[in-house]
Amino acid sequence: MTLAGEFEPQDLQIKAIDISPAMTTEATTLLSENYPEHDIEVITADIRDVELEPCDMVILNLTLQFLPAADRFAVLEKIYAALSEGGILVLTEKTHAFDEQYDAWLVERYYDFKRANGYSEMEISGKRNALENVLITDTLDEHHARLAQVGFQRHLTWFQFLNFVSIVAFK
C-alpha cells in the first residue's frame, strides 16, 4: 500500500480486496499503523463477488493467476466497467513463455533470485508444491489479448522481471 504514502489523505480513497482473511488482517494492521488518516477500507472477499464502485484506478496484483481461466475475462470486464473514462488498470501477474526451454530458464533464474535472498531449497520446493495446480499462469500475449478484448484500447508492459510482468491499461 505504498500508494497511500504518495497522496495526502484527503486526495485518495482506497478499497483493498483480498480473499484471504490472514492477508486482510495483516493489511488492516499495517495500514492503520502507517496511514491512520487515509480513507482505506480492507475487504475480505472474492473479487468475483464484489460490486465495484466507479473509480479512476484499479491495481490488480497477482490475482488472475489464482482464478479459473474461464473467470478472468469477467473480472476484467467488471473492472473496465467500473473505471472512469481515462482511468487505468495496473495488472501484475506471473506469466509463462510459450517456449518451454525459455520458460524453464526463467523459472530457474527466479529460484536463483530466491536463493540469493535467503530462501532454502526446502522453502522453494514447498512453495512450488503448494502452488502447483493452484496458480495457473497466462502468457504475456494472452494478457494483452484479453485486455484488448475487454475494451482497453491502449495497454503496455511497463515492467518485467523474469516471469513477472506489470501492464498498464488505459480506458
pLDDT band at residue 2, thresholds of 50, 70 and 90? confident
| pTM recorded for the entire structure | 0.87
- Among 29-33, 80-84, 127-131, where is mean pLDDT lowest? 127-131
Q: Is-contact 86 171, C-beta < 8 A? A: yes
Residue 101 scores a pLDDT above 70: yes
Which residue's C-alpha cell is 514447498?
Answer: 126
Checking if the pLDDT of 1 tops 70, the result is no
Confidence class for position 131, pLDDT limits 50, 70, 90: low
In this structure, the dihedral spanned by the alpha carbons of residues 97, 99, 103 and 104, taken in order and rounded to 10 degrees, is 160
Domains annotated for the chain, with CATH where assigned, are 1-45 (no CATH), 59-170 (3.40.50.150)
**How far apart are alpha carbons 66 and 1 in whole angstroms?**
21
Grade residue 88 by pLDDT with cuts at 50, 70 and 90. Answer: very high
Give one DSSP letter per residue of 122-157, joined into a string: HHHHHHHHHHTTT---B-HHHHHHHHHHHT-SEEEE
Q: Residue 164: what pLDDT? A: 92
